[in-house]
Amino acid sequence: MKSLIVILIVILSVCHVSLARTKNNENKKITYIVHVAKSTMPSSFRHHSIWYKSVLKSVSQSAEILYTYDEAINGFSTTLTVEEHRLLKSQPGILKVTPDKMYKLHTTRTPKFLGLDKISSLLPTLDKSSDVIVGVLDTGIWPESKSFDDTGYGPIPHNWKGKCETGTNFTTSNCNKKLIGARFYRKGFEASIAPNDERIRFLSPRDDDGHGTHTASTTIGSPVENASLFGLANGTARGMAIGARVAMYKVCWIELCSGSDILAGIDQAIADNVNILSLSLGEIPYKYFKDNLAIGAFAAMEHGILVSCSAGNFGPRSWSVTNIAPWITTVGAGTLDRDFPTYVSLGNGKNYSGVSFYNGNSLPETLVPFIYAGNASSDEGKGDGTCAPGSLDPKKVAGKIVLCDPGKIGRVEKGNIVKSVGGLGMVFANNEKGGEILTPDAHIFPATAVGFTNGEAIKKYLFSDPKPTGTIVFEGTKLEVEPSPVVADFSSRGPNLITPQILKPDLIAPGFNILAAYPNNLSPTGLTSDPRRVDFQIMSGTSMACPHVSGLAALLKSVHPDWSPAAIRSALMTTAYTAYKNNQTLLDGATKKPATPFDFGAGHVDPVSALNPGLVYDLRVDDYLSFLCAVNYSSAQIEIVARRKYTCDPKKQYSVTNLNYPSFAVVFTGEHNEIKHSRTLTNVGTEGTYKVSVKSDVPSVKISVEPEVLSFKKNEKKTYIVKFSTSTSKQNITQSFGSLQWSDGKTVVRSPIAFRWKIE
C-alpha cells in the first residue's frame, strides 16, 4: 500500500509540473521566487517583510508568502496565477520573478584511502570535538545512528544560533552535542508538487529516504566499529571530520528538492552560523542570476561559509557538470581501491565478471541449468527478456539461473520475480545504451550485473548450447584494487557550460561504493517487499563525493580558522594529485584512457598535503563582483546575485581571466591568439622562494610566466602574469591540456590548464 501511494504521488507530481510549465491555465497557481531591490523600500515600512506583504497584496488578495528570505537573497517566495505574476513583475522594486525549480539528489575504506590516519597521528586533537559546524541540505537525518553519537564531545559552540525543530517522530531530545541542529522545509515542494502524506513521509527533520543520513555521516560521522553491509566493506566507519558538529536542513522530498525550500535552508544556515555547507543535489546549469542555489551560495560565501556541491551524475557526457558558479566548490567522483566482484561461470569453461552486494547463501558449487528470460516466457513466443511481472513461466524457470535484460522495473525487482517463480539466481545484462557501467545491488537472492559486452557473450552461449549451464561466484570484499582511483563513469564532466573560462569540476573525491550510515527502518534495496534492515548502506554518486570534500574542508577550517572559503578550496585543489605512483595519469572509468582536467578538475583530493599547501589563491567578495562585471552582467543582474546595488566601473577593463582561481581554462577563438591570465598567490607557510614550471600537451601552445621566481615572506602576496599563445601551426584539435606549478623544492602548488579552440 505504501509503495502504491508513493507511485501515485510521483505520478501526480509529474502531472502537476507539466501543467505548471506548459498549460496555459490563467487560474493555475505556480510557485515563484521573487527577487527584490531592498534598497528601494519606502521609509514608511518598518521591516522589509512588511513591505513584501504589501507589494504582494497589491497584485493578489489570496496569495500568501511561503518564505521571506533574510540572508540568502533579498526577496520571498509565493504562488501566483499568470496574471498575478505579470502584475508583480511590473511593481516598483521587483528585480526578477523566477519560477521555482526542482533540484534532484545527485565510510569504512575512504579514511585510510585518503590518508586520514596520518592526519590523526600528526594532529590527534582533530579527532576530538571542535567548534566547526557543517550544515547539510538533504533528505533529513536518522539521529539514532551511532555515527551521530556525541560521547566525549564538549559543549555546543557558543556562536551556534540554530535549533532542533519538532515534528513527526522527532523531538528536541533527538539532537545532542554532535547533531546540534535539525530543521525541515516543505512549503515550496508542497506548493509546486503535492502535499506530503504523513503516512509515508516524516514531516520533521527525520530522514525517510536515507540519502541525508548517508551524506551527513560521511562528512562528520563518529567512528563506528564493525560497520558493514551484510559483512561487505567491514571495518570502522567514520566521517572525514569526526570532531565537527552537524546541522541538518531537510529540503528534499521524494528525491526532489524545491529551489524555494533550498533557499530557505541556506537562509537559515547562514543565520545559524554554520561554517561549511554541503549540498549533494543540483539542476541543469543556468546563468548565475537565474540560479537560485548559486545566488544563495554567494550569500553564504560572503559570510565566510564554504559551499561544497556535487558535480552531477550525467557523465561521461561532456558539458554536463552542474553547480558551476566560481564561488561554489564543485566535486566530481572517483573510485576506491575496493570492489565487490563476482563472476558468471559458464558450462563452456568461460568466466565473465560482474558486480553485486549479495552476500548470502551461494549457489551450488556444481553448474546448474541457465536460461535467457526471453526463452522462459509464460506466453509462448512473447517473452521480451526483461523479467517483467507475470512474464516468466515457473515450469521453465524453476531450478535455473535466469539472464534478464533491462526494462521498466529495477534490477532487484527482476531478481525478486525470478526468485518468486522458483529461479535459483539472476544475471542482469546491460543493453548497448547501458554499456559497461555497472551498479552493484543488495540482492535478496544470488544475483549479479554484467556489462553489455559480457552480457552479449553469455547470451551467445545460452543461444548456442542446447543445455546451457552456469553458476554465479561471489568473491566478497576485495581490497587494494588497481588502478585506483579512476574517474567514475557517471561523474559529470566539463567544460563549464556557462563560463568556459572557469574550469569545472574543481576536483574529485571518493564517490563510488561508499559505506555510510543509513536509517534502520529502510530496506537496503528501497523495496517495501524487502524485509531486511541495515544500519549502514553502500551508495554511489557525486552525492557521496561532495560530503567527503565538505568534511575535509571542515578539517582544514579546524586547523586554519582564519582561512576564507576560497583559500580552503585552493589548498584542496593545488595539492590534489593527477597520477598514480607509476606517474601514469589517472584513468577515465568510462573510456579506460587517461582522464583530463575536464574529468577530474585539479585532480583527486589529498587532505594530508592540503593541510600545508604553502601558497593559496585567495578570493574575496569584490573579486567575484568584478567577475560578474567581466561576464557583462547588468547592474540589476548583479544586484540579484549580490543583494545590493553595484555598478561596474566603465573606466575599468574587467576580464574573466583575472579571477584568482586555482586553475586555468583557456579559450582560443581565432587562428592567432594570445590570452593573458593574472593570478595572486598568498603565502600561508614559511618564508621561501618558489620557481615556476609549465607543461603543455601540444607544441602549438606556448606558455610564458612573468616573473618566473617569487620570493615570499610570511603572509605576503605576490602577483604573476601567464601568457598563453597559439598559432597557425596548431594541429587539428579542439582541446588540449597542461599544468602550471610553483615549487620551493619541497612544496608543490599545482594548477591544471585546459585549452579549447572555439570553432567560429
What pLDDT digit, counting tens, does each position of 253-302 carry? 988 999 999 999 999 999 999 999 999 999 999 999 999 999 999 999 99
Backbone angles phi, psi at 154, to 5 degrees: -80, -175
Alpha-carbon distance values, 54 to 96, 155, 504 (Å): 17, 43, 42
Cβ contacts of 668-674, under 8 Å, gap ≥ 24: 668/724, 668/726, 668/755, 668/756, 668/757, 668/758, 669/757, 669/758, 669/760, 670/760, 671/727, 671/728, 671/730, 672/726, 672/727, 672/728, 673/725, 673/726, 674/723, 674/724, 674/725
Provide the pairing of β-strand 75-80 with 65-69: antiparallel
Q: Give tens-digit pLDDT for 549-602.
A: 999 999 999 999 999 999 999 999 999 999 999 999 999 999 999 999 999 999
Give, rounded to a whole angstrom, the gap between the first and last alpha carbons of the chain: 57
Handedness of CA 377, 382, 385, 391 (dihedral sign): negative
Q: Is the pLDDT of residue 71 over 80?
A: yes
Give the mean pLDDT of 393-406.
96
Whether the predicted model's global pTM rises above the 0.85 cut: yes
Q: Is the pLDDT of residue 8 over 90?
A: no
Cβ contacts of 99 within 8 Å, gap of 6 or more: 20, 21, 30, 31, 32, 33
pLDDT score at 436: 86
Q: Is the pLDDT of residue 24 over 90?
A: no
Going by pLDDT thresholds of 50, 70 and 90, the confidence category of residue 19 is very low
Grid coordinates belonging to 689? 622562494
Report d(CA 694, CA 653) in Å as an integer. Answer: 27
Going by pLDDT thresholds of 50, 70 and 90, the confidence category of residue 464 is very high
Peptide bond into 157 cis (omega under 30): no
Please report the beta strands in 41-82, taking only residues with DSSP state E, as ranges in sequence order: 65-69, 75-80
Report d(CA 76, CA 72) in Å as an integer. Answer: 10
Going by pLDDT thresholds of 50, 70 and 90, the confidence category of residue 528 is confident
Going by pLDDT thresholds of 50, 70 and 90, the confidence category of residue 124 is low
Residue 96's nearest CA partner among 76, 115, 120, 123 is 76
Give the mean pLDDT of 422-444.
91
| Neighbour-count burial of 540, counting CB atoms closer than 10 A to its CB (0-12 exposed, 13-18 middle, 19+ buried) | buried
Give the rounded distance of the alpha carbon of 15 from its chain centre: 27
pLDDT score at 760: 54
Alpha helices in 560-634 (DSSP H): 565-574, 597-600, 607-610, 621-630
Q: Is the pLDDT of residue 672 over 80?
A: no
Beta bridge partners of 486: 587
Cβ contacts of 426 within 8 Å, gap of 6 or more: 387, 401, 402, 403, 404, 414, 415, 418, 419, 443, 445, 446, 447, 448
Going by pLDDT thresholds of 50, 70 and 90, the confidence category of residue 663 is very high
- Tell which wins on pLDDT, 3 or 51: 51
pLDDT score at 371: 96
Going by pLDDT thresholds of 50, 70 and 90, the confidence category of residue 699 is confident
In the chain, the amino acid numbered 331 is V
Question: What mean pLDDT value characterizes the chain?
Answer: 91
Give the mean pLDDT of 478-493.
93
Q: How many H helices and E strands in the chain?
A: 18, 39
Report d(CA 587, CA 565) in Å as an integer. Answer: 29
Backbone angles phi, psi at 478, to 5 degrees: -115, 125
Alpha-carbon distance values, 171 to 203, 215, 387, 680, 686 (Å): 12, 22, 44, 49, 49
pLDDT score at 199: 72
Give the rounded distance of the alpha carbon of 224 from its chain centre: 24
3-state secondary structure of 735: strand
Catalytic residues: 138, 211, 543
Q: Is the pLDDT of residue 18 over 50?
A: no
Handedness of CA 193, 198, 203, 209 (dihedral sign): negative
Give the mean pLDDT of 412-431.
95
Phi-psi region of 585 (alpha: psi -120 to 50; beta: other; left: phi over 0): beta
Beginning with the edge strand found earlier in the chain, give each strand of the sheet holding 30-36 in spatial order: 65-69, 75-80, 30-36, 94-99
Q: Give tens-digit pLDDT for 601-610.
A: 999 999 999 9
pLDDT score at 602: 98
Alpha helices in 425-541 (DSSP H): 452-464
Q: Give tens-digit pLDDT for 172-194.
A: 999 999 999 999 999 999 999 88
Per-residue burial over 39-72, b = 16 or more CB atoms within 10 Å of its CB, e = otherwise: eebeeeeeebeebbbebbeebbeebebbbbbebb
Q: Are 322 and 619 in contact (CB under 8 A)?
A: no
Beta bridge partners of 658: none
Give the rounded distance of the alpha carbon of 322 from its chain centre: 9
Report d(CA 367, CA 401) in Å as an integer. Answer: 10
Grid coordinates belonging to 233? 566493506
Compute the residue count for the chain. Answer: 760
Q: Are 227 and 109 in contact (CB under 8 A)?
A: no
Report d(CA 678, CA 249) in Å as an integer. Answer: 39
Q: Give tens-digit pLDDT for 333-359.
A: 999 999 999 999 999 999 999 999 999
Residue 488's nearest CA partner among 439, 536, 454, 447 is 439
Report d(CA 277, CA 256) in Å as an integer. Answer: 19
Report d(CA 184, CA 241) in Å as an integer. Answer: 24
Report d(CA 46, CA 461) in Å as an integer. Answer: 79
Q: Is the pLDDT of residue 511 over 90?
A: yes
Going by pLDDT thresholds of 50, 70 and 90, the confidence category of residue 438 is confident
